[in-house]
Each structure stands twice: as C-alpha cells, then as structure tokens.
Amino acid sequence: MAAAFTLALCCGGCSLSGQLDSLFGEKSERTGTITPPPGTKEMVQLPPDADLAYARAAASAVLSRGEKDTSMPWENPSTGARGTVTPIASAYTVDGRTCRDFLASFVTGNSQSWLQGEACKQRQGDWEVRTFKPWKS
C-alpha cells in the first residue's frame, strides 16, 4: 500500500492553484522546469552498482512469487539507499523466455528516482534482470 501511495505521489506531480505571495509577505521568485531542446539527450545516471544489486535481488524475488499487485522492498545497509520493486505488466515471451517489466524506486537521502526494468525467467526457474534504465513517464 505504501508503494502504491508513493507511486501515486510521484506520478501525480505537484500542483497548486493560486498565488502564495500573500502568505509569505514578499514576492517570491517563480521557477519552472526547463526542457532540453529537441534532439539533445538528457544525462541521467543509474544508481551505483552496489545499490542496483539489491534492487535486482528484490526484482527476482518478487517475480518468483508470481503474485499479482505486489511489491518487494529493498535496502542496501551499507549506503542507506532503499526502495521497492513492483511488476507492472503481464508476462510476455521474448526469444522463447517468459519476461516481465517492473518499476523500481530508488531513495537516497532526500532524493528519489524511478527505474524501469525487464527481467526474464531462466531455464532453472530464476528471474534474471536484463535491463535497468531511468523511467520515462
């Protein structure tokens, strides 16, 4: 339930109608999001490999359960990074293997980001994460 609430907050964005200047007694500077020009690539980095290892293990574990609408928390005790992994799509077949997509949250300090990934079932029955990349909503 906490993962669903966090996902809803992240996907919903922040919006507030009206001006807040009167609450603070002085004019505040207005800022906005700057979008990169078309054709340029945004430089987004993945979390460190040590943290991704914990997220990969959680992805494998939650997919092995085979349950619908479930999430698995993960945490790297060495760095304090944490998050959850949530399958987001039904299984599909790629090169004869069963695969699923998932979202993984990544929280460290005051920053939060989301990753999307794909995992496929191996012959032994274990799930292997094939891709991890920054989530594009």
CA-CA-CA-CA dihedral for 43, 48, 49, 50, to nearest 10: -170
Summarize pLDDT for 1-16 with one digit per residue, the tens: 555 444 444 444 444 4
Supply the DSSP symbol for 25. Answer: T
The model carries a pTM of 0.65
Long-range CB contacts (< 8 A, 24+ apart) of 117-122?
117/59, 119/59, 119/60, 119/63, 120/94, 121/63, 121/97, 122/97
CA distances (Å), origin 4, targets 72, 81, 83, 103, 117: 12, 19, 12, 11, 18
* Segment 26-77, tens digit of pLDDT: 444 444 444 555 554 444 578 889 999 999 999 999 999 887 779 999 999 9
pLDDT exceeding 70 applies to what percent of the chain?
Answer: 67
